[in-house]
Amino acid sequence: MKKLIFGLFIFGLTIQAFAQVTKVEKLSEVVIVATNYKYLNEVDAKEAAIPVEVLQRKVAAFDLKNSDFYEDEYDSYFVSFYIPEGKILAAYNKDGKIIRTVEKFKNIKLPVEVVQSVTKRFPRWTINEDVYLVKYHHEEGVTKKYKLRLKNGDKIIKVKTDEEGVFL
């Protein structure tokens, strides 16, 4: 019986010794290129709706040089991106950097500042429809506007605001 217990004890120690051997694997190198970080920083909203943010990230991450239509001889490329809530037309230079964009989104979640500004100025009106417009230019910056359609009974009015809720 002593030999059996002693044998199991030695066997248990040897199994643990083999468990300590690890394989070393070399991982492939990952290169992160932030070509369009300026675009993302400029158009980034405090409370951007999820569809807006998703499509803007797709535009920024688009790899122009590995696309099927890329040729070295052209200076700029126009690429359209679509989702049900909106669309973005982006102009890229030959290096894949975003030069300018025109963006339009319909019926998305509005920022708190815009909603508060509208309800303060038009207390009994409801926001029936909204359109979010963004224009980005790599030298001039970004402009953001909201076109709102307000309804009160049978009356309908249209107003425009910026992202801070200031009426235009």
Helix (H, G, I), strand (E, B) or coil at 140: coil
Under the phi-then-psi rule, with left for phi > 0, alpha for psi from -120 to 50, and beta for the rest, what region is 153? left
Predicted local confidence at residue 158, as pLDDT: 94
Predicted local confidence at residue 45, as pLDDT: 62
Predicted local confidence at residue 30, as pLDDT: 63
* Residue matched to tokens 């509005």: 110
Residue pLDDT, tens place only, 73-106? 788 889 999 999 999 999 998 888 899 999 999 9
Distance from C-alpha of 125 to C-alpha of 107, rounded to nearest angstrom: 17
The whole-angstrom distance between residue 37's C-alpha and the CA centroid of its chain comes to 11
Distance from C-alpha of 149 to C-alpha of 56, rounded to nearest angstrom: 25
pLDDT band at 129 (very low <50, low <70, confident <90, very high): very high
Predicted local confidence at residue 44, as pLDDT: 79
Q: ∠ CA 155-156-159 to the nearest 5 degrees?
A: 140
Mean pLDDT of 21-40: 70
pLDDT tops 90 at residue 33 = no
Mean pLDDT of 8-32: 65
The whole-angstrom distance between residue 156's C-alpha and the CA centroid of its chain comes to 33
64 neighbors 70 (Cβ within 8 angstroms)? yes
